[in-house]
Structure formats: C-alpha cells, structure tokens
Structure 1
C-alpha cells in the first residue's frame, strides 16, 4: 500500500491542556517563592490537590459524569499520563519553594549549571522529566508532517477516532487540501455502524461543512451524513452512517416507500419497524411523519396502491386511532381473506362486557368488531352500507343473530320482503313489503313508552333486564321506505329520526341497512345519518366511491368503497383474446369491506360466511319488550299512522319526542278489545275440531289480513298448537 505525507495540526481542545502541562511546572516553580506567604501556601496546596486529582484520574477513580461535565473527556483521557507528570513536577517545584523561599527555586531551576553538586543532580533530573513530558506532547503542541497509508478509492475509513480524525484533517479542515479549512472535528465517538463528532469553526465564522464533502471524504453517500445544530453557529454535530439506510435500498420496503410513495402520494413520511407479516406473507410497517411534518397526510387509496404497484385487495392502510403522526401500512402477497372466513360458531357472537361482537376477521388476523351497546352510554346504532351482491345481507344476519343470542328484542322492517327470512324468524315483530311501516310504528310506540317511563322513574342511564331488554330495530333497504314524496315515506323518516336521536338512552339500537349513506337515499335526513354513524358503528362494503366523502368517522379517511372489486383478481387480462384461453371463474369478494366502531381500528375485513342463521336460532328464547304493557296491542298500534301537525317541541322539556308526529298509544274512545290473531284462528279451528280448514276460509271467518294470518299460522304450527295437513290447509290438534 502506498503512503502519502499529510500535515497533522492539533485542535485547540488538545493544544490548550498540552500548553498548560508544559508551562505550569517551571512557571509556578519560579513564581511561587516570590508570592506573599499566604498566597504562596495556597498555590502550593492547589498543586498538591491537582496532583491528587490527576493521580485518581490516572488510575480510573474519577466518575465518568465528572469527566463528561468538563466537556474534555476525550482529551483528559488521551493526556492522562502527561497531566499527572506535569502536576507532580509542578508540586515538586512549588511546595518546597513556598516553604524554603527563592533559594530553593534558584537551586531547582538553575542548579543544572553545577552538575557535580547535589542540587545540580536534582535540577538535572527535574528538567529531564520536564523535557520528556514536552516531547510526548509534541503532537498536541504544533503541526507536523507524517507519513500515512493512502486510502484506496471506495474503501471506507478505518474505525476508531484516530483514523476518522486523520481523514477529516486531510480532506476537510486542511488549509491546503481541505474542502472546509479550519473547521475541525473533535469529540468523536465511534459505535461501529456509525460515528458522531462535533465540528468547530474558527471564531467568528459559522460551520458550513457540506454532506457531500463529508461523504466524499469517508466514501459514503451524502444521505448517510446528517447534521444537528450545536450551541452556537460556530459548532455543529455530525453523524455519519457507514451503511446506507434502508430507504436507499430498492429491495427493502423502506426503499420502495422512499422511491415510489413519498414523492407524490404521502410526502413528508417515512417507514419505521418494517418487518415481514406472517399473516399475509408480505410486509407491515408504521408510516411516520417526518420531524417537520405535523401529521401523516391522508392518502388516496387508489394512488397509494398504484404507487406500490399492487392491487386494491393487497394493500391496507390504517390511520392510528390516537396518534396523527402514525399509520400502519400492510402490503400483502396474498390476502388471507380471499379464501373466506367460515363462521366459527355462535360462541364468537357473545358480546364482550363493553357490548362488542365479532362480525368477521381483519387482514391482520385480528377480529373485526362493532359495538351494539355500551353499559354506560346505552345502545349504539349501526349503519351497514353496500350495493347488491356486496354481502350486506350476510352482515345483517350475523349482527341480528348476535343480538338474538344476547337476549335483545328485534323489530324487523324489510320493504323488499325477501331480504333475510332468518332475521324475520328471530324477530319479536316483523313487517315486510308494503306493510313495512307497521314495524316502524310499533318501534316508535315503544320508544314513546320508554321516554315516559324514563321521565317517571327519573332514569338517567338505561339498564337492561330480562323484562326490559335491549331492543334492535333493523330497517333493511332503508331507501325503499324513506321516499319523501309519499306520506308513508315522510312518516318513516320522522320515526327513524326520532329513534336515531333518542333511542340510545332508552336501550334501542337502530340498524340501518342501505346501499349508500347519501342523505337523499335516507329521505333527505342528514340528521339520521349523523346520529347513526357518528359515535356508532359503520360497516362499509362495496358501494359508490362518493360515499367516502360523506363519512367523517375517524379511520375511514381516504377509503374508497367503490374501489373494492366485485371479485378477487385471479390473473391479468390478456392483451389479445383467444378462444383457446381458459376462463377461470373469479371468486366473489362477498363480505369484504371496512368496519369502524368506537375504540376499534378501521381495517380491511371480511365478515363471517354464514349461509343461514336458522340452525342457531333459539326459538324458545325470542325476546320481546315485556316492559311495554301495550305489546299485546301491537297489531292495532301498527295500523295507526304516526301523523300530526307541524308544531315541534323539545323532547328534553316535554319528556316526549320532538317533531311533527305523535302516535296515539290509546284511542280516546277505545272500543272493546278485539281477539288477538292467535285467538281468532284458534276459535275457527276449535269450531271445526278434527276437520281440515283451508286458509281462504280462515281469512273469511277471521277477517285477518293475509300477511298477519300467515305469520300467525306459522307460529301456531311451530309451537304444535295446530298442524299443516297440506300447503294451505290446517287442522287443530286434539
């Protein structure tokens, strides 16, 4: 290896203590005897104390915190032997001089001129020790030229402060060949993969060393060099990484983020703790805002996926629930939800102490939960949005089954008439098709009753009991019943508004199921949407992209429900089509979406796959609101429209609901109660005991409408009171 000659100039941090070490012994030895006796004694004592201190430092008995406080720990350690020798020579000259006066000083300082005398020998020994000390300190006292091995191109500097100082002196601070003359490096600490130091500029000048100059000198990329301000413009801390950071490696997740995402999609962000994700076979990392960025920007999910060269079903981003400076990014090799999430069994639907139920599983492996009720705050509303085929019927079935198994009373309204027969079966009251408004009237009458009872009892928070259960009002395909151009539509909007606004504190959960969250799809009621979604749970499946702008729930920022594909992408589309290319039927993304609930992270999830809830329905445990005395009159109440004038009054001041409608819970002149549908049917069949009676005859004899009669006959057959001989023909059991 070739050698080069370099000039090594000492830094002031090294030079100052070296000068003191050389000058102090002869100077104090000559001056101490000339001082006033008290001051001379004090000087002598100080030299003795100094010798003791440097002796303790030499043997390693001075605590590190004391050395650090001086700011010269490295210098004190490097010159510990010369500092001890200088202090001993000084004490040897000053202490006897203070006691014996100028005679001793003259003998010590000039005795070397008479080498054959005793004083001459002592003086010679003292000056020899001082000369040896000065010789050892010569590198710290003056510049010198030395021969060093030349650093080969592309070879990083050797570790250790010595090698680092040498390269800095040669290529940065040298007045002849340095990029920034006079800007010296001190206090270097080398940890192996990186080193740090302090740059000091000449007094009156600021530090202006560039990352490019440091990178060139130490053969590392400029991005590996960073600076931190010191206590004043004349000093600056420098940190140099020997290995480039991960964001410079295109094969790492950090490198892909820095190159593909940071410039345009999420500027001012970087990744932390990137690691492989065993749940997906891909990567997961924290997205963190840079120091000068207050919060992580909300990404456009399509742009984020495109920048990562991935697919919508293979990228999941979750904002942090409480820290605006963090988010979680997950890039998958295969989405673990693609194969479906079979329903594990009714045990997963058991509510937690806080009223949370699991409706599926997220891509992270964590269950996806929503809250049906809060023991302190009351009932929690739920909104399920998704177009036909997105799987919202399956989610409704799971939520309803959870409510049923938890002992909640279900009131079901289904304008479509065939959305979810299993939910209709587990409901305490249901109305479908053209009769859907009846369910809402019954629910509203129950709401009115609980308002009055709450005022009468002075009840602040709702507490569920077996006779006063939580109630879930499920309204499927809500847009079909909230048409504001019809009287029933206006009535439905009014009732739903009131349940959404007042139901929480009365133990009544409102479950809205709709294709979209637009107000115009809810009868124009933005209040209903706000009361259900804000603070409640939202399940967003595949639907219109515009829905993302209408949802202000934390965690849903940037989610595009329109970008959820209808099917999992099996392979790329062929550029040129041929009949020889086999067609693989794609798997549907049924139940794929996002769920958000108070205290739960919003993540990509898929609902449990449950074809039918029928095997899990407990027909002997279908709950109903026993706290409402008018429950037996529900069929009569369902026939009475909720209508009134336009006057409004505050629910808080009146103890009742506010708005333009008020359903009469009892008629002013109530006619004698008519027999219930069950009693009317049994009366007809009792009269024809043992005979088979067609359904058409039962309709004629009882006057019950077709839908109510069908429900009644089904219930009587299930409990064994009557039997169905053939379709449409019934007989009373003896």
Structure 2
C-alpha cells in the first residue's frame, strides 16, 4: 500500500496521472499539492522502513528520537517530524475553509459579509450552475467589480474542463451585451469578463492590440495572431501583426469583415498589407489619410514607373509600363466618376514625358482631356486596336527583314491605351468579333515588341475584358488598378488578385449614408458630400493596396471651353505629339505609319490571327500564340438591355421608366415585370416612384422596393 501511494504521489508530481483517473478526483488538490503528496509519501516510507527492519523499537526511535537531537537517530527523527509538519502546514489552505478579504477574494454566500453586488452575481450564477444547466459544476471565484461598467471573475470546476459556449447563457442570465471567456492556467480554469454596457468597437484604452484580439478570437484566418508593435499616427493606430507559431497570415482577406471587427463600417477605413507569410501591416483610420486628393507632381517617369497617387502610409503609388526586358501591361476598371479618366490622362502624360509614343482609343469618346494633344493617334478603341495590331505585326516580322529580333534600339516604346472596352466587348456590339480576336493577341504577344497595353473599362470581370486569358495576362504581366465598380462586379471577380479587394464597396461619397437610404430621402444633396473619386486599389507586390490617385491640377470640366483650351495649351506645352522626336522615330521605323488612317479604318482578317508570330515575352509569363474564334453573337435579353440603359443613369436621381423603355426597347408588362424582378434581386434600385438606377453598394444595404 505504501509503495502504491509513493508511486501515485510520484506520478502526480511528474504530471503522469491518466486524464480519466484525474477527472474523478478532486483535481484542485491533486494538481496544486502534488509536491506535498510526494513529501508525505516519502515520510511514510521512512516510518514503514524503520518498523519493518527494527520492529516496534525502530518505530519508537523514529517517533521519540527527536528528544536526543545530537544523535543520528535524533536527527532522522527531527527530519521526519519536520517533513510531516511542513506538508501539513502547506496543505492548510486546501484543507481549511479560507476566509476571503475584500471584493477580489473568493466570495461567500453570506450577504452580511459580502458586497451586495457580488452576492447578486453569485445568486444569479447559481441558476446557471444548477443541475441540468450549462455551467453545472462550475464555480465563480475572485470576483472584481467595476460598477456601472463590467465585472471580472475566475471560473473553476471540480476537475472537468470548462464547458464550451457559456457566453450565450451567461449573457442571458445577467442581461449583459458582451461576455468574454478566455482560457486560464489549465482546462478547468477560465477568466470571465461580463460587460454591463456594450463596448465601443473602435479604438480603446487597450489600443490596437486589444482591437486585434477581437479579430484573432472571431476570424479563423487570424486565429492566434497578435499585434507585436503599434504606434499612433495622425490618422489612427497602425501596427505589425504576427501570425501564431507555425501559422501563416492570409493573403486574401475579407476587408469588410475585418473592418467591422476593428470597429469600422467599410473596408476602405482600414489597410491590410501582408509583408510576408508571417507578418502584415494593419492600419485603422480614424481620419482617412486619403480623404483629400493631392495635386499631381511632375508627371515624369523613372525607370518605366509612372506616379499615380499616394498610399495610406504616404508612399507614392506607381505602376510600371516597361522594364529593361520588355513592356508591361495594365488593367484599369471603374465606373463613371470614379477617377478612371483622370488616371489615364496622368499615365499618358507620364508616358510621353518618358519618351513613349501614345496611341489612344476611347470607345465612348470625350473621356480624355489630354489625348487629343499628346496622343500620336486618337480615335475609338476599335481603330486603336487595329493600329496597335498592325504595328505589332510589323515588329514581329522584323527578323525576316533584318535577321534579328526587334529591340528598343530600333524604335520607340509605345503605349496603347484602350478606354471603355466594355462597350466593345459586349455581345452584339459593332466590331465585337474582331475585337475578341485581336485583344488576346495584344495581351499575350506585345511585351517583347515594346508595346505596353492599358485596357480600361467599367468592370474587371472576364467578359468585359475579352475573356479570362486576356484579362489575366494584363494583370500577371503588369498590374491592375480598381476604382469603384458596380455591385454586380462582386459576383464575377474570380482572379486571385481581384478577390482580395471589393471595389464595388467603395462609397461614392465620404461619410454619405448608404445608397438604399439616400434613395428614400428626397432631401439628399450630393453637393454637401465630398466625392471619393480617385480612391481605389492598385497592385503592389502582387496584392491590391489602397491608394488615392492624384487630383488634376485644375477642374477642367467646370472651366469655360476657351479657358480650358488655353490652360491645356500651356500645361502640355512641349508634350504635343507632333513635336515629339519619338513620333518621328516611329515614322522612320514603320513606313506604314503614313497610312495609319487607312489601317485604322480597315478590319483585320481574323484568319491572320491563326498564324503564330514566333514572338513570346522575354520576361514574366510566357504564353503560346493565340487563335481565338470570335465570340458567338446572340440577342441581349430584356434585363441586359435595361441594365445597359441604366449604366449612364444618375445614381441619385436615376432614370425614368419611360426613358428606360425608349433606350432599352422594352415596354409594357415586360418592362414592369423585369424591373420588379431586378429590384427584388438587388440588380436595380428604385430611387423614387418610377425612377431607377444601378446599385452603388452591396445589396445588403439596398432596401427592397415594391413592384409597381
């Protein structure tokens, strides 16, 4: 028996007691007093050994030898008595009923000696710790009070693990809006905080680290992560987030969900930028650093990089149009008024200053204030595509005439800008089959030929950018800039880079109410709110990062036409295409430049696209020669025609039903039923009786309108 006791005490001291056996014992004593159990087992072993070897005389010597302290027997007896006494003295706090002192001690149900609030807390606790209740066997100890704010306590059990999901019954029992339970020192111990009032979800005394704890506790992608370094900036807190050991921080994040956990309403109110697999920079904006646009600096180009605007950290946002090896492409998406045209003007101006020849196409017309002066060619996008394709074929066949591939020493770099391509890529558009045949060739074959392609449109989904192959080559072999887009965009962004941000959730105005609420308020005045034009995402390091594009030097649209022309003449002096040496160099390299008008007006034979050019990019993603059949044509549905008609509708005032009927060629019950179904599905919003517009924000924010 003694040997068994000694073995059990040793196992407890070494924490080797089986879990199933430990749960059946008073776990608190076994864990807290394992060292003293071992001392008592050793003392008992000594006494049994004395009795077994020397009989009753040995037992007497062990018990009474202390009376002769100078002998060896006395020393052994004194040590034995000291061990017994020390172990018993240390066990007093477990074996004795301990009388608490103050509010932070273990509270007792003696109301005359316990704070009334603590008594009430314990009384309520007894209801959820009764038989059959979620917290059965759980005790509440070490209660601390912050009257009117919250209280904290420790939860202990009789050895079993603390039950899971206690937050809801505790919240219901105490009527508390927020209940937080954190793990304690072992499975049967936990730390409890009960907030009597809702805690603000924004910055607190805990700082960014405390705010981030809510993220780590509730979002699985960030489980175990923590803020290791933080500082307060003029715009709000920012810090470094580190992943838990052996874990990786996500590259793709739901910015809206992350913003809500950090106490913000929109994904644009925070900035999350992963630095490597284990760390990221998080910024929470109390005052948005991109709220006020900045006037553009000198539109020069450094090493192929063009300046676009600024990031929240103050760094300049740039895109690369070429490197030493080849050209680089760019995809730009954004609805009218989002800042797309201003950005394209800035890119073209920087390109001209950097020695590039600009070929510009705008399928809608009138979007650019600069192209007519600094562009060597400007017309609609279809004509610009033909001209760019003809120049590419000329350079691709350079080896046949000169015995070596074309290089930048043979001609200038060229920037091919194609704006509003969504009007050209839509099924049934004039020239759509030809454009669908040329576009993949431009995106895959032009990098080694010194021609950078910028495609811009209302959206970044594949069917708006001539298919997945075209769109993905633009992004992977260059980059992307995403401004505010339609809510319908959220369902079709299937590219990994594009999934990391939600441009459809960029608001149209700073601090304005949601669109669904604005549509119900006739008094809403957009002039009282500041536009978010220029706010968007640009790829940096393979991931989208928030930025604000530089504002134009002046508001050209509000100027008198004669004043606008005079300002442009002065601002663009020296950049006029006819005066640039690069344009003359292109004319010398490519004799057919003189025939550019004829080339742009002549449709491309799609059969020519089946012939490989033998040219592939010399850096980045290598692609095979393309052979893309024209997209099949079909009649657009009534809903598609309605949505197309509403693309130019004012988002606040909307478009009247009669105007929709005239533009979309849909009337009567068909129009009525299609509008009712579209409103119910969230694809169209009714801004007032008889007037409709496309949604500007998530359908969660759009109130369902009754059908007429």
- TM class by smaller structure: 0.5 to 0.7
Residue 531 in structure 1 maps to residue 473 in structure 2? yes
Q: Distance in 2 between matches of 1:359 and 1:26?
A: 87
2:592 corresponds in structure 1 to 633
Q: How far did 1:266 drift?
A: 6.0
Q: How far did 1:127 drift?
A: 3.4
Q: 1:608 to 1:287 in 2, by over 3 A?
A: farther
Post-superposition Cα deviations, 1:23-46, rounded to whole Å, max 9, x if no partner, equal: 566667788xx8xxxxxxxxxxxx
Q: How far did 1:639 drift?
A: 1.3
1:591 corresponds in structure 2 to 534
The structure 2 residue matched to 1:510, chosen from 453, 458, 465, is: 453
Q: Distance in 2 between matches of 1:331 and 1:272?
A: 15
Q: How far did 1:238 drift?
A: 5.8
Q: How far did 1:448 drift?
A: 1.4
Q: How far did 1:645 drift?
A: 6.1
1:442 corresponds in structure 2 to 387
The structure 1 residue matched to 2:377, chosen from 430, 433, 442, is: 430
Alignment of 1:10-409 (within 5 A): 13-19=34-40, 21-23=42-44, 123-124=73-74, 127-139=77-89, 146=96, 148-153=98-103, 155=105, 223-226=180-183, 237=187, 240-241=190-191, 249-250=199-200, 253=203, 272-273=226-227, 278-281=233-236, 299=254, 301=256, 312=266, 315-316=269-270, 318=272, 320=274, 323=277, 330-346=283-299, 349-352=300-303, 355-376=304-325, 378-409=326-357
Q: Distance in 1 between matches of 2:324 and 2:222?
A: 40
Q: Distance in 2 between matches of 1:338 and 1:111?
A: 85
Would you say the 8 A contact 1:409–1:622 is kept in 2?
Answer: no
Post-superposition Cα deviations, 1:372-403, rounded to whole Å, max 9, x if no partner, equal: 23445x32211222233322221011111222
Q: Distance in 2 between matches of 1:591 and 1:179?
A: 58
1:80 corresponds in structure 2 to none
Would you say the 8 A contact 1:318–1:327 is kept in 2?
Answer: yes
Post-superposition Cα deviations, 1:619-654, rounded to whole Å, max 9, x if no partner, equal: 765524848865233122541435336476352669
Post-superposition Cα deviations, 1:177-215, rounded to whole Å, max 9, x if no partner, equal: x9869xxxxxxxxxxxx99999996xxxx76788979xx
SS at match of 1:359: strand
Q: Distance in 2 between matches of 1:304 and 1:132?
A: 61
Gaps of 5+ in 1: 1-7, 35-101, 158-170, 172-177, 182-193, 229-235, 662-734
Post-superposition Cα deviations, 1:204-253, rounded to whole Å, max 9, x if no partner, equal: xx76788979xx9xxxx98444268xxxxxxx5566558889x9944655
Q: How far did 1:469 drift?
A: 3.8
Alignment of 1:415-426 (within 5 A): 415=363, 418-426=366-374
Q: 1:432 to 1:225 in 2, by over 3 A?
A: closer
SS at match of 2:370: helix
Q: How far did 1:470 drift?
A: 2.9
Q: Distance in 2 between matches of 1:136 and 1:265?
A: 47
Q: Distance in 1 between matches of 2:464 and 2:451?
A: 23
Q: How far did 1:595 drift?
A: 1.9
Q: Distance in 1 between matches of 2:200 and 2:476?
A: 42
2:20 corresponds in structure 1 to none
Q: What number of residue pairs does the alignment pair up?
A: 525
The structure 1 residue matched to 2:488, chosen from 546, 549, 554, is: 546
Q: How far did 1:599 drift?
A: 3.0
Q: How well do the aligned residues superpose, as a CA RMSD in angstroms? A: 6.1
Q: 1:292 to 1:649 in 2, by over 3 A?
A: closer
Q: Distance in 1 between matches of 2:549 and 2:495?
A: 19
Q: How far did 1:538 drift?
A: 1.8
Q: 1:225 to 1:597 in 2, by over 3 A?
A: closer
1:614 corresponds in structure 2 to 572
Q: How far did 1:594 drift?
A: 2.1
Q: Which moved more, 1:303-312 or 1:547-556?
A: 303-312
Q: Distance in 2 between matches of 1:569 and 1:222?
A: 31
SS at match of 1:639: helix
Would you say the 8 A contact 1:564–1:593 is kept in 2?
Answer: yes
Q: Distance in 1 between matches of 2:388 and 2:522?
A: 58
Larger radius of gyration: 1
TM-score (norm 1): 0.55
Post-superposition Cα deviations, 1:512-561, rounded to whole Å, max 9, x if no partner, equal: 12233456655x55543333244432222233222333333445327444
TM-score (norm 2): 0.56
The structure 2 residue matched to 1:651, chosen from 607, 612, 615, is: 612
Would you say the 8 A contact 1:548–1:559 is kept in 2?
Answer: no
Would you say the 8 A contact 2:333–2:340 is kept in 1?
Answer: yes
Would you say the 8 A contact 2:422–2:457 is kept in 1?
Answer: yes
Q: How far did 1:562 drift?
A: 4.2
Gaps of 5+ in 2: 1-27, 108-124, 126-134, 139-151, 171-177, 555-567, 617-623, 630-708
Q: Distance in 2 between matches of 1:212 and 1:331?
A: 31
Would you say the 8 A contact 1:360–1:367 is kept in 2?
Answer: yes
Q: Distance in 1 between matches of 2:534 and 2:424?
A: 24
Would you say the 8 A contact 1:412–1:423 is kept in 2?
Answer: yes
Q: How far did 1:430 drift?
A: 0.6
Q: Distance in 1 between matches of 2:235 and 2:574?
A: 32
SS at match of 1:387: coil
Post-superposition Cα deviations, 1:410-463, rounded to whole Å, max 9, x if no partner, equal: 222345554335334333x31325xx6554443223211322336888989x86
Q: Which moved more, 1:634-643 or 1:277-286?
A: 277-286
2:129 corresponds in structure 1 to none
